[in-house]
């Protein structure tokens, strides 16, 4: 096996190191030179010069370093500084003089090792002197741009220690695997994590290659990171590992950064005797939507319920709703004892159909709920007028439309009362969470009163009205407050996901979420609606994708055909557009961790399925 093109010469420092020996076994030839301290002493600039003069390398792989036992770096810092920091700096200086490409072997232990899945641009904070000495080396390598720093979670096969930590996680990769990868990344630059695709406890990893290994705890040692696992997407994208198929392409999931960690941490130390974050979030969220009032609730379903309670919705009342929506739009109506009236949606924008509303509106109608389904916005201004004319409340369920805009006006601004959700799948999330937004002081005051057990304003230990409790926790609010600070960044990522799908699904005839000059969609989740000519079997397609770890979802099935709501309709299959959308649409994975290549992979599989089914 050749290591690099025969015309290029590679020199390796630390040729007798553990990894050096593994490379030697695998790669030999005139263009690869293994050096020991005798031939190339990294603490002696002349020795480095002599070796370079002799071999004239194009690449230098810097393995010479002091590693085990790790304690040596605590006990003898002179040695650690000399070999790992000064020695590396010498190599950098000499490579820079001759423009030799430098590949530096660092360690995954430069990351803090507390939460795992560290990306290359995450902050570093070594937890022991070994990692500090490697980071010291990195610092000089970083000054020289013709270089590649590898942060490795590398170990030998079989696992060599007698004991392994059962309470520490990592994604170790065996040295011989790294040897296979190395030739493929020689021309990369910057920093790259090198680890396996599977993060697991070190004990369970060790057991696979050494059945005699015993479990132990990190509590028994001085310095060891709890979760030093590293994210290896960058490496995967370059080497296109076969194991890539093992990555799960989830429907949704949050993007968490330092900002959320800081707000939640602040809440945990300072936020137990107040609702500071709830109040701050409500103010800022209202401002963002140009609304007078915002009230946070434990989830969006309860925000809808609280609103209906505030207008005293009761048995005998009716509320008109679209048939295509999530059950949470409608269950609060039923909980109040009122009747939901299901009408069809438009084929173009998946939102409630105005002509159908006109046929159903009557004296019993107390409210109409429009749903900004998958970020689409319907004919909200016309709806507003109809509601005003008929003196019914116009409610906007914008749970799926954070960041959507109609001619610059944000979803959440249109209803007399509007709702947003911060469910774990949504654009910003606190696991669960929701709000109502309104400019109506009477409804807001009533909802606020009912939210906290109907307690008296004057004496908070006196119950004025009997009510349940709908208070969100300050912890929830701290999380969503942190997320909301990143709203522009998060909306941009959702749009990039959408754009990649549009690019890669060009060859098939599908309609995407409504997104055009008039309506800028927040794109919480990308959805495709297949042309009827494909006669697509969505259930089969979902199964096909699942076999490839692609988790796509069904479109909302019409509520009027579900057990919970059947009793409110005479016919099983009213509202044909809602049925057609359900049968021919697919909600695509829209997790923040999807990159362009992932989306290409997902799209190609969809196309493959479509082409293989009969049209």
Contacts to ligand PLP by CB under 6 A: 299-301, 325-326, 328-329, 371, 397, 399-400, 421, 423, 434
| Nearer to ligand PLP (CB atom), residue 399 or residue 528 | 399
At its nearest, how many Å lie between ligand PLP and the CB of residue 446?
20
CB 429 within 8 A of CB 483: yes
Residue 529 CA to residue 549 CA, distance in Å, equals: 21
At its nearest, how many Å lie between ligand PLP and the CB of residue 114?
30
| Nearer to ligand PLP (CB atom), residue 62 or residue 423 | 423
At its nearest, how many Å lie between ligand PLP and the CB of residue 535?
28
At its nearest, how many Å lie between ligand PLP and the CB of residue 511?
19
| Nearer to ligand PLP (CB atom), residue 65 or residue 299 | 299
Tell me the two tokens of residue 263: 């707000």
CB 127 within 8 A of CB 226: no
Residue 257 CA to residue 118 CA, distance in Å, equals: 11
Q: Scanning the structure block, which residue is given the tokens 């002799």?
A: 54
| Nearer to ligand PLP (CB atom), residue 3 or residue 326 | 326
Q: Which residue is nearest to ligand PLP (CB)?
A: 300
The residues facing 295 across adjacent strands are 436
Residue 197 CA to residue 240 CA, distance in Å, equals: 12
At its nearest, how many Å lie between ligand PLP and the CB of residue 422?
6
| Nearer to ligand PLP (CB atom), residue 301 or residue 521 | 301
| Nearer to ligand PLP (CB atom), residue 326 or residue 342 | 326
At its nearest, how many Å lie between ligand PLP and the CB of residue 135?
43
Query: Cis peptide before 327, with omega less than 30 degrees from 0?
Result: no
Q: What is the number of other CB atoms lying within 10 angstroms of the CB of residue 211?
A: 8
Measured in whole angstroms, how far is the alpha carbon of residue 36 from the centre of its chain? 45
Residue 66 CA to residue 130 CA, distance in Å, equals: 8
Residue 195 CA to residue 109 CA, distance in Å, equals: 12
| Nearer to ligand PLP (CB atom), residue 164 or residue 367 | 367
At its nearest, how many Å lie between ligand PLP and the CB of residue 115?
26
Residue 552 CA to residue 587 CA, distance in Å, equals: 6
Tell me the two tokens of residue 394: 């116009």
| Nearer to ligand PLP (CB atom), residue 271 or residue 375 | 375
Tell me the two tokens of residue 87: 């020695």
At its nearest, how many Å lie between ligand PLP and the CB of residue 412?
13
At its nearest, how many Å lie between ligand PLP and the CB of residue 199?
29
Question: Which of 311, 333, 489 minimizes the C-alpha distance to 397?
Answer: 333
- Which uninterrupted H or E stretch holds 538? helix 538-546
At its nearest, how many Å lie between ligand PLP and the CB of residue 370?
10
CB 59 within 8 A of CB 103: yes
| Nearer to ligand PLP (CB atom), residue 129 or residue 301 | 301
| Nearer to ligand PLP (CB atom), residue 432 or residue 598 | 432
Question: Which of 579, 483, 487, 597 minimizes the C-alpha distance to 532?
Answer: 579
At its nearest, how many Å lie between ligand PLP and the CB of residue 598?
24
CB 363 within 8 A of CB 501: no
| Nearer to ligand PLP (CB atom), residue 67 or residue 310 | 310
- State the distance between the two ends of the chain, measured CA to CA, in whole angstroms: 48
Q: What is the number of other CB atoms lying within 10 angstroms of the CB of residue 490?
A: 22
Q: Assign residue 481 a region (left: φ > 0; alpha: ψ between -120 and 50; beta: otherwise).
A: alpha
């Amino acid at each position: 096996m050749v290591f690099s093109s025969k015309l290029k010469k590679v020199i390796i420092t630390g040729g007798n190191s553990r990894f050096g020996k593994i490379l030697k076994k695998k790669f030999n030839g005139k263009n690869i030179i293994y050096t020991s301290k005798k031939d190339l002493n990294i603490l002696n600039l002349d020795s480095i010069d002599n070796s370079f003069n002799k071999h004239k390398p194009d690449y230098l792989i810097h393995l010479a370093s002091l590693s085990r036992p790790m304690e040596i770096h605590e006990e003898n810092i002179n040695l650690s500084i000399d070999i790992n920091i000064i020695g590396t700096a010498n190599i950098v200086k000499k490579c820079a003089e001759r423009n030799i490409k430098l590949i530096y072997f660092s360690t995954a232990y430069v990351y803090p090792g507390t939460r795992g899945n560290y990306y290359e641009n995450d902050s570093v904070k070594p937890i022991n002197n070994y990692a500090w000495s490697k980071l010291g080396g990195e610092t000089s390598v970083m000054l020289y741009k013709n270089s590649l720093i590898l942060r490795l979670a590398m170990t030998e096969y079989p696992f060599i220690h007698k004991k392994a930590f059962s309470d520490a996680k990592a994604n170790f990769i065996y040295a011989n695997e790294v040897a296979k990868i190395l030739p493929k990344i020689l021309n990369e630059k910057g920093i790259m994590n090198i680890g396996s695709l599977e993060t697991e406890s070190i004990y369970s990893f060790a057991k696979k290659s050494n059945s005699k290994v015993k479990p132990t705890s990190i509590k028994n040692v001085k310095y060891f990171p709890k979760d030093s696992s590293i994210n290896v997407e960058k490496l995967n994208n370059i080497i296109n590992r076969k194991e890539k198929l093992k990555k799960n392409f989830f429907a949704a999931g949050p993007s968490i950064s330092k900002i959320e960690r800081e707000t939640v941490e602040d809440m945990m130390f300072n936020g137990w005797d107040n609702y500071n974050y709830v109040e701050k979030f409500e103010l800022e969220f209202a401002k963002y939507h140009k609304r007078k009032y915002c009230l946070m609730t434990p989830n969006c379903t309860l925000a809808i319920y609280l609103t209906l309670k505030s207008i005293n919705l009761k048995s005998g009342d009716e509320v008109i709703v679209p048939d295509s929506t999530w059950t949470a739009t409608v269950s609060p109506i039923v909980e109040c004892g009122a009747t939901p009236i299901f009408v069809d949606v438009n084929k173009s924008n998946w939102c409630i159909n105005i002509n159908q509303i006109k046929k159903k509106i009557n004296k019993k109608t107390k409210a109409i709920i429009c749903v900004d389904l998958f970020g689409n916005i319907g004919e909200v201004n016309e709806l507003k007028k109809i509601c005003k004319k008929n003196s019914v409340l116009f409610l906007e369920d914008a749970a799926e439309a954070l960041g959507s805009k109609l001619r610059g006006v944000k979803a959440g601004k249109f209803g007399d009362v509007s709702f947003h959700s911060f469910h774990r799948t949504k654009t910003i999330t606190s696991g669960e969470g929701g709000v109502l937004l309104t400019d109506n002081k009477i409804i807001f005051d009533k909802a606020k009163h009912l939210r906290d057990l109907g307690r008296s304003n004057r004496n908070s230990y006196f119950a004025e009205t009997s009510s349940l409790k709908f208070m969100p926790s300050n912890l929830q609010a701290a999380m969503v407050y942190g997320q909301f600070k990143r709203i522009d960044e998060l909306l941009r990522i959702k749009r990039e996901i959408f754009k990649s799908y549009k690019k890669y699904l060009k060859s098939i005839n599908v309609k995407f979420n409504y997104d055009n000059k008039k309506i800028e969609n927040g794109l919480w989740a990308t959805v495709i609606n297949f042309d009827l000519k494909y006669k697509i079997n969505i259930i089969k397609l979902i199964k096909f994708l699942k076999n490839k770890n692609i988790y796509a979802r069904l479109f909302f099935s019409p509520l009027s055909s579900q057990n919970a709501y059947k009793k409110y309709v005479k016919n099983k299959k009213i509202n044909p557009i809602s049925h057609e959308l359900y049968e021919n649409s697919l909600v695509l994975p829209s997790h923040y961790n999807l990159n362009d290549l992932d989306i290409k992979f997902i799209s190609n599989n969809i196309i493959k399925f479509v082409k293989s089914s009969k049209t």
